[in-house]
Each structure stands twice: as C-alpha cells, then as structure tokens.
Amino acid sequence: MSSSFITASPLPFLLRRRSSGEIRNLASVSSSILPAFGTVIDDGHLQTKNFVVAPYDRRYRWWQTFLVVLVVYSAWASPFELAFKKVATGSLMPVDLVVDAFFAVDIVLTFFVAYLDKSTYLLVLDHKTIASRYVTRYYFAMDVASTVPFQSLHRLFTGHTHNGLVFGILNLLRLWRLRRVSELFKRLEKDTRFSYFWIRYVKLICVTLFAVHSAGCFYYWMATHHKTSDDTWIGTEVHDFEHRSIWLGYTYAIYWATVTLTTVGYGDLHAVNFGEKVFSIFYMLFNIGLFAYLVGNMTNLVVHSAVRTLFMRDSINEIFRYASKNRLPEGLKEQMLAHMQLKFKTAELQQEEVLQDLPKAIRSSIAHHLFRKTIDKTYLFKGISEELTVQLVSEMKAEYFPPKVDIILQNEIPTDFYILVAGALFLSNLGSADMVGEFGVFFNIPQPFTVRTKRLSQVIRISHQYFKQMIQPQNEDAKIIITNFTQHLKDLKQEVLQEIPFLPELLEELNTEQKKLEKRGSTVVMADSSAVEELNALRDNDHLFIF
C-alpha cells in the first residue's frame, strides 16, 4: 500500500469520531450486500453506473416507503370496492388512478434498480441483465396486472360503465402489492433504531385489521349477490340495506366479522343461507390459525421480556437450596445472594457479555475508551509507553462487587491484581485508581492482605500471566514499572509494612542495587581478571565483566 494512504493517529482508528451521516449510511446498508469469500471486487464496483439505482440508496428507500403508504390504501380499497360497487366507479376511481400511476412509475424504475446476484453476492449493474431478469420473472406480470386500471380502460373504449363481478375480482389483484408491506416489516425488525417489540406489535394489529376488513367486505358482497336480499345475514336486520348508506352496511359487516373472529356470537347477526354458512365455516377455521399466530407471537414477545427475571429467580432459588443443603453460614449465603443479584443488575454493563462476539480491534478500542483514564492515574503505570498501555488495556476485564464482599483473601495464590475504578475498599481506605493484589503478583507470594469492599465497587482486573508476558520484551517500561513500585513501597504506611515482615529488608536491598545501577562501568575484564585493552584481542565465547 502506498504511504500516501497511511495516517497516524494517537488513538485507535475506531475511536475517531464519525459524522452522523456516516453512521446512518453504515446502518442502512444491508448485511446481505456483502461478497462471498474469495470474490474479488474491483475499486469501482460499488459505484453505480449512469441510470442505475442502488437498492440501498436512501432516496430509493424513501420511495419504497412512500409506496407502502399507497399499498395500505390499496389493501383497504380493493375489498371495499368489491363489496360496494358504487364507490368503485364513483368517488374512489380518481384516487385509484393516481395510485396506479405511482405503481406504474415504480415498474419503469425497477428496470434500472441493481439487484443482488445470489451466486456471488455482488450487485449486478448491467442494464440488459437487470431488465431481462425482471421481465422473465413472474413479478413483472403480477406488477403489471395489479397496476392496469381495467375498469377505466373498459369505460374508455366502450363508452359506458360496467359494474360486473369480473372487474371486482381484477381489482383484488392489487393485493399483490402487500408483499411490499411484508418486506418493510422485515427491514424494520432488523433496524436497531426502532423497537422490535412495537414493530411486531404493529404488524400483528395490521394483520388482524386486514383479516376483519376483508371478511366483512366479503360478507357484504355475498349479501348483495344473493337472490333474496331478506334471506341474508344483514337482510334479517335491515330489510332495505342495499338502498341505505354505504357506511351503515360497512359498519354492520365489520361488526359481524369481528364478532365471528372473536367467537363471541351474540346471536343478533348470524349466517342465514347456505353460502354464508359455508363461508363462515372456512372463516372460523381460518380464525383458528390466525388466533394461534397472534397468541403465539404475543406470548413470545411478553415471555422474552420476562426470561431474564425468571432466570434470576431460578438462580437465587438454587443458591438457597445449595446453602441449605451444605449448611453454609448466614454471612456467606448473603454474600452469594448479593453477588448473584448484582450480576443480573449489571449484566448490561459487563463487557464480556456485550463484546464477546466483536472483533478484537473493536474490543480494544472500547476498552481503551473505558479504562485509559484510570490506567493513566494508576501509580504503577505512570510514564509507560503508549504501546504497552494499549496492550494492557485491551486485556482488562471489568467486574462489579457488592458491599462487604471479599475481593482478595489473605494467603490466596496470586492470579490477578485489581485497579479500583469506582467505590471503596477496606485496606488503608483505598479509592479510585488505587491497586490491590500487586504485592502477591510481584513477589510471587500468597496475598498478604484480605481486601473487602466497603460499598458497591467497580474494578478492572489484569491477569498475572498476561502482565508478565507483556512486560518481558519491554525493557524500558519494565524499569519504569519497577521504579514506580519501589517508590510506592517506600511511601507505604508503617502499619502496612508491619503486615509484610520482609519488606524493610527488601527495600534496603533494592536501594543498594539501585545505587549500583546508577554507577557507570569504566573497566572491562576477562574471566582471568585481565583487563581488556584492545577489542581486536577478543575471541569468540570470551566471558567479559564490566566494573
């Protein structure tokens, strides 16, 4: 890669601030617009050609959303016009023509919309390939059939209006457009900017309303086409219903469809003739499936929100049973319960649970953002290099501890040391950015102290083994850390020194060795104590000593 494309930044790349526009674009690109592994993409592939529309383009998405609004109208108008023929050739005809015109424009636009090749998962941008694919699929025929205004064309060529059944059936072809609503809901369910619960809830409401509306309109259509109007479900209540208001008939139809859907059965309206009874049988069978679909989805949504609470209660009950069977002391049982409750309360803040599936670069950047300030204030790491800081921060683990809980036990084998981020501990009244456990780690001895939380505390933990691996190749940083640790030992209070008997003697040895290191060697001698005067006299494998 050319050096002109390389930029240096004091922070990891992922921490650099992005504009809101970039974030929206990243969120809007579907994960399916990704090439298969091994597929080579040239630099200009994602740049569409002239007169080719990308399916993830924001303007095209807005156009699709606008069409969904028109689909909602078509879903209501098509069954309504079948039942009430007067509006099909009256007040709703101009609206239908305008809606059909928009969908005709969309048919033309589809000839220029790139599509995803399922074999390579790349966008196809060739005009001829796009057009050929659209024309040869059944989508094109259904789009045209659902858009052509058959009744208006018949009136244009014949000069008179025809209200036959055939045009009402052809108008139902517009329900083909409902697939756009289904695609919209699928996209919204995956969009994190919207609540998944409410998207699913609105979808279930729409399905129910459409089922009731369609059934009500078909019930009314059957009543109007029966040979004896009084021998129908509505004719027994409203004898001249065909000459009454359209909205009166629609209200009766929706009322009976709703009563039948909910299986209430008040008895004021009921199926009278043979056709209505047959349709009611199939409608109620359909309602069984619809009811199961609605109840199943609602149960899933409600139970999903309560699963975490149920799991917490089960875990607490298991602790009670375990403590009872093993006769644990009351104080230890309370610590176990407090830890379990805190675990569930802070589950959203535990980075292991949130970040475990993310790439290491993102995890490192987030850890850098969360813990960098605390590391800079910690005495042990003051003055170390940026490289070592990034390595240490990337492997830190965040933990929460409830009040009066032991973090480190005396004489415990050292495995980690901890940095306090927030809270307080019972050990010389430690506060934010203070460390515990480093004595056992540095001296490789059992922990000399018991460290207990005073209140709710957040700590970050560093593994002993990982710390040693990071320090070994970093000679300069190791010297800085040892110097910081030695200075910290010198500043310890007398009561702390008394807890570790060998510390005073160790400090004297450290001071002595430090003084030796500060002296600069001036004489080079060999193993036989002879001084080296010329470098040319040295041979391979000679042992040299500096004084």
Indicate where the chain has its CATH 1.10.287.70 domain(s): 195-327
pLDDT lower than 50: segments of the chain: 1-32, 34-46, 429, 520
Neighbour tally for 434: CB within 10 Å: 17
pLDDT digits (tens, 9 = 90+) for 11-37: 333 333 344 444 344 444 444 454 444
Phi/psi region, residue 404 (left: phi>0; alpha: psi -120 to 50; beta: rest), is: left
> What is the 3-state secondary structure of 159-194?
CCCCCCHHHHHHHHHHHHHHHHHHHHHHHHHHCCCC
Per-residue pLDDT at 81: 87
10 Å CB burial of residue 217 (0-12, 13-18, 19+) is buried
10 Å CB burial of residue 147 (0-12, 13-18, 19+) is buried
Neighbour tally for 320: CB within 10 Å: 12
DSSP state of 298: H
Nearest to 346 by CA among 307, 312, 314: 312
φ, ψ (nearest 5 deg) of residue 526: -95, 180
Kindly give, in sequence order, each residue whose CB lies less than 8 Å from that of residue 517, ignoring residues fewer than 6 positions away.
Answer: none
Indicate where the chain has its CATH 2.60.120.10 domain(s): 351-507
Kindly give, in sequence order, each residue whose CB lies less than 8 Å from that of residue 107, ignoring residues fewer than 6 positions away.
Answer: 140, 143, 144, 147
DSSP state of 543: -
pLDDT digits (tens, 9 = 90+) for 48-101: 567 788 888 888 889 998 999 999 999 999 999 888 888 877 788 889 899 999
Q: Which CATH number describes the domain made up of 195-327?
A: 1.10.287.70
Per-residue pLDDT at 513: 54
The long-range contacts involving 96-102, CB below 8 angstroms and separated by at least 24 positions, are 96/149, 97/149, 97/152, 99/70, 99/73, 99/74, 100/147, 100/148, 100/149, 102/66, 102/67, 102/70
- In which residue are the tokens 């102290």 written? 449
pTM summary value = 0.58
Per-residue pLDDT at 423: 75
Per-residue pLDDT at 44: 47
Domain spanning 351-507: CATH 2.60.120.10: yes
Per-residue pLDDT at 39: 46
- In which residue are the tokens 């089960």 written? 314
